[in-house]
């Protein structure tokens, strides 16, 4: 009789353990399915907001490695010329808690259609698309260079994205320091240097974000210098250490983005100008962007 009771207790214990395991698995699957459905809806909302030009909604639904500050992200989305027209979910895979990898079919007016990997992270109990993924990190600046051998294309961990966006303002405050935004635009038909925009500088660490697009075929090379200079009565003077070179190959499916924060630039309403130099005379190059100071 004791053996029967002992055997029955063992069977009951195994049954309870199996039942608990199955229940846990079903709960996890249900949770994952709910998360996937939420992310699918966010992708649809992002595409709709892009078509409507709803920049506040786009900013709310996403994070961007190029512009971690939300004010800066919204401003650049609103001024970007190449607007997304198609943003469709192709595939979605869970990588870890609070992190999914999505494959997105993307098409815009001025770019060829392409598939991109877009991480999705959970931030303050809400899911956010992480854009600007295929980026080369050079000297702390993210640059969109698809040809780079070490381009920043692989999906990172949840901790990486979470820490990046949480600590960004401590490392490189843009919106907190920026009191004005200056637009610049220039076209080079050959090699040379030209002065562009001037402004009364408010920050010792102004930041320039912009794009370069050469005429010609796929893979054309870009070699540009961005120099900040103080304006004088007779012209302008070079600021030591205030020239940043940008080079890489242009691809038709993606414009190379230049992004750099300068340091030790005279502030207190000192008049500064941006001089841009085209070091390659092979073809025309269109250049435009913003200075945040």
Question: What's the rounded Cα separation, in Å, for the pair 58 and 80?
Answer: 13
Q: What is the CATH number of the domain that holds 97?
A: 3.10.450.50
Strand 285-292 relative to strand 181-188: parallel, antiparallel, unpaired? Answer: antiparallel
* Domain count within the chain: 2
Q: Which domain holds residue 118?
A: 33-134
For residue 142, is pLDDT > 50?
no
| 156: in domain | no
Strand 181-188 relative to strand 236-249: parallel, antiparallel, unpaired? Answer: unpaired
Confidence of residue 177 (pLDDT cuts 50, 70, 90): very low
User: Do 64 and 128 share a domain, yes or no?
Assistant: yes
Confidence of residue 246 (pLDDT cuts 50, 70, 90): confident
| 217: in domain | yes
| 162: in domain | no
* E strand spans, the chain: 62-64, 84-96, 99-108, 111-123, 126-131, 136-138, 141-143, 181-188, 192-201, 207-214, 221-231, 236-249, 257-261, 270-278, 285-292
pTM exceeds 0.85 = no
Confidence of residue 94 (pLDDT cuts 50, 70, 90): very high
Q: What is the CATH number of the domain that holds 219?
A: 2.60.120.260
For residue 36, is pLDDT > 70?
yes
């Amino acid at each position: 009789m004791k053996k029967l009771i002992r055997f029955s207790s063992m069977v009951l214990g195994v049954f309870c353990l199996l039942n608990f395991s199955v229940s846990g698995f079903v709960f996890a699957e249900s949770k994952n399915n709910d998360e996937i459905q939420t992310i699918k809806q966010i992708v649809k909302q992002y595409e709709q907001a892009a078509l409507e030009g709803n920049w506040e909604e786009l900013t709310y639904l996403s994070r961007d490695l190029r512009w971690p500050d939300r004010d800066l992200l919204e401003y650049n989305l609103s001024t970007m010329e190449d607007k997304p027209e198609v943003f469709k979910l192709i595939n979605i895979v869970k990588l870890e808690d609070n992190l999914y990898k999505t494959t997105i079919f993307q098409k815009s007016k001025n770019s060829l259609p392409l598939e991109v990997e877009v991480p999705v992270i959970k931030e303050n109990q809400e899911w956010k698309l992480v854009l600007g993924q295929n980026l080369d990190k050079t000297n702390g600046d993210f640059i969109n260079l698809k040809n780079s051998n070490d381009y920043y294309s692989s999906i990172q961990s949840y901790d990486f994205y979470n820490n990046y966006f949480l600590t960004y303002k401590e490392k490189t405050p843009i919106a907190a320091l920026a009191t004005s935004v200056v637009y610049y635009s220039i076209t080079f038909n050959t090699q040379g240097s030209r002065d562009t925009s001037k402004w009364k500088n408010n920050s010792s660490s102004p930041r320039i974000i912009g794009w370069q697009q050469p005429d010609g075929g796929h893979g054309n090379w870009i070699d540009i210098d961005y120099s900040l200079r103080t304006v004088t009565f007779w012209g302008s003077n070079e600021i030591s250490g205030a020239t940043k070179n940008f080079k890489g190959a242009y691809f038709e499916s993606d414009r190379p983005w230049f992004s750099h924060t300068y340091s030790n630039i005279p502030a207190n309403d000192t008049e500064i100008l941006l001089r841009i130099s085209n070091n390659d005379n092979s073809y025309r190059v269109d250049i435009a962007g913003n200075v945040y100071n």
